[in-house]
Amino acid sequence: MRTTAERRRWIVFLGLASAVFVVDQIVKVWIVGNFEVDVPVEIVGDWLRIALTHNNGALFGMFRDQALVFAFFSIAVIGLIVWYHGHGAKGLLMSVALGLLLGGALGNLADRLRYGSVVDFVDMGIGGWRFYTYNVADAAITTSILLLILIAVVPGLAGSSSDA
């Protein structure tokens, strides 16, 4: 029998994952329908642009043309995230971090299955100095990783299963 705190953590975890997934997919559908591939559109000067690309590799475009491999890998990672949330994760902040991670993983998996690649479009930088192009799912994953690092450095932030 789950406690009230555990139920709250699951609601936060699944609610946040669902929200990230839905927002990510809605934005990507709009971007794909309204922008041309490799034709940047300035939003805030050269600093922030929408530059639609299709990444058929992994992080930072590494391991190109391996979308199917990464789709299978993503399914395994999604399973591990859900399993860890149910068996090892404690505290509300961990549920937030894992919810962001799950939503981002699901968003990029949906792209790989639908398009054979991940839709990226946020392009930041100055002139020739650009950050990697990313999407809503990537931003959620990055935020999750930062939270997980913070929890690892300051373990007290992870809380306990009764923290909700």
Catalytic residues, by residue number, are: 120, 138
- How far is Cα 18 from Cα 20, in angstroms, rounded to an integer? 6
3-state secondary structure 92-150: HHHHHHHHHHHHHHHHHHHHHHHHCCEEEEEEEEECCEECCCECHHHHHHHHHHHHHHH
Residue 119: name the closest of 19, 25, 13, 6 by CA. 25
Dig out the tokens for 95 from the structure.
């549920």
Dig out the tokens for 54 from the structure.
């299709």
Residue 69: name the closest of 116, 103, 102, 139 by CA. 116
